[in-house]
Amino acid sequence: MEIENIDENFMKPEQFDEKLDVLNGSVNLLLDEFKKIYVISKMHPANQEYQQQYANMVAGLNQLQSKLFSASNDVQVNIDKINKAMMTLDNRIRKEREKNRELKLKLGIVENKSNASSEMIDNYKQIYDEQYLRNWALGLSTIICIMTIGSIFKKQGV
């Protein structure tokens, strides 16, 4: 299955960082100017020049806000594209895992035929070990029983 480079389809984070840095610098400049113009325009409400500068600052802030919204929207669109690509990759991975599982099952059928002898050897080793311990246990228990019976009949004086 062919895997394409999904990194080429999306905007780089550095591009978003650059956009935000430019907009952040603009916000700081506009806000500094806005503070000055706001105070002056409120102090001199009859002066049309100050009122016009104030209106221009408000329009500039609105324009900057729309650019920030646009950047935010671009980020969201990019996130949606990445999510869609990840879902596609997830589906491909699931299909490949299923295919891998099926192939492993087929391989297991073939391997079981060749591994049967090694399994039998392992089983015989386990059976031998169990039988060996069982024989020792029977031998020791027989000796203990004979000694117990002997001591019981010795005490009675028969």
Q: What share of the chain is helix, strand, coil (3-state, %, to 5)?
A: 90, 0, 10
Say if CB 1 and CB 96 are below 8 A apart: yes
Task: Assess whether pLDDT exceeds 80 at residue 100.
Answer: yes
pLDDT at position 110 is 58
Helix (H, G, I), strand (E, B) or coil at 45: coil
Between helix 13-43 and helix 48-156 the angle, nearest 10°, is 130
Say if CB 71 and CB 23 are below 8 A apart: yes
Tens of pLDDT along 123-134? 788 888 899 999
Task: Assess whether pLDDT exceeds 70 at residue 52.
Answer: yes
Look over the chain and give the mean of its residue pLDDT values, rounded to a whole number.
83
Q: How many angstroms separate the most distant Cα atoms in the chain?
A: 137
pLDDT at position 105 is 78
